[in-house]
Structures are given as structure tokens and as C-alpha cells.
Amino acid sequence: MIISETKIRVYYQDTDKMGVVYYGNYARYYEIGRTEMIRELGFTYKQMEELNILLPARSLKINYLKSAYYDDLLTIRTIIDSIPKVKFPIKTEIYNEVGELINSGEVVLAFFSALTNKPTAAPKFFTDELIRLFNN
């Protein structure tokens, strides 16, 4: 299992009139977490795209457990618990400042070839790095 943590501050623009994080922003928080996790693995989305590998979202599940509020410092925990093949499931947990789990979910990405415009296997350099990390 690979776990990455990213901290973000809830900005005023993220909230509704009551100061509560608007529900649609959680998908963006998930993306921030997985982008930083991929960077920690030694890759970037930009590098993948330069290699004609795209990672479109295939599905998104979100569980809203508690509210987050303006100016909260949130911890986004991004989790990979299996080596991807074509589908790339990524779990996400979001915690508030006192460590309470306030949101959880999963995004399933798909490795997609920009050359063939079809799903493709995860690149070997990517899965090799994940296997190395899983074995440590």
C-alpha cells in the first residue's frame, strides 16, 4: 500500500454562503491529492502526457461524512492499494484539523493512449516503481 498526504487550506471561494465547503469541490481536492502523490512517485501528469499517456477519470465515488469549513486545514490522504493494469483505482480520505475523517471515496482512472485513442496498459516504468515501493 502506498499512502501520500497533502495538506490544503479551505479558501473562501471553496465555500457556500454558510462557510461550508461546497460538495463539488471535493472532486478537486481528490485531484490535488493524486497529482501530488504521482509527483511523490517521481512522475508528473505532464510527463505522462508527453509520452502520449492520458489518465481520464472513469468513475468517482464520494462519501460525505462531516462538513469542512472556511479556513480549515485539511489533510488529503491518497492511497494506492494495488498495482494498476488498465484501470487505476485511487482511494482518498480527507481529515480535518483534529484528525476526524470527514470524507472518503475512490476515483478510478484509466490509462489511455493518445496515439490510438484507446485504453492501454499502465506503462512499465510506472508499474515497476509501484512494485518497488510495494515491496519496501
Q: Decide if 136 is inside a domain.
A: no
CATH number at residue 59: 3.10.129.10
- Can you give the pLDDT at residue 45? 87
The residue from 16, 71, 81, 128 that is catalytic is 16
Count: domains in the chain: 1
Q: Domain for residue 135, yes or no?
A: no
Please give the chain's pLDDT, 136 residues, in tens: 899 999 999 999 999 999 999 999 999 999 999 999 999 988 888 999 999 999 999 999 999 999 999 999 999 999 999 999 999 999 999 999 999 999 999 999 999 999 999 999 999 999 998 998 888 7
Predicted TM-score (pTM) of this structure: 0.92
Confirm if 6 and 33 have CB atoms less than 8 A apart: yes
Residue 84, CB half-sphere, CA atoms under 13 Å: how many?
A: 27
Residue 99 belongs to a domain: yes
Residue type, 136: N
Annotation says 16 is catalytic:
yes
Is residue 100 assigned to a domain?
yes
Domain of 72?
2-130
3-state secondary structure the chain: CEEEEEEEECCHHHECCCCEECCCHHHHHHHHHHHHHHHHCCCCHHHHHHCCEECCEEEEEEEECCCCECCCEEEEEEEECCCCCCEEEEEEEEECCCCCEEEEEEEEEECEECCCCEECCCCHHHHHHHHHHHHC
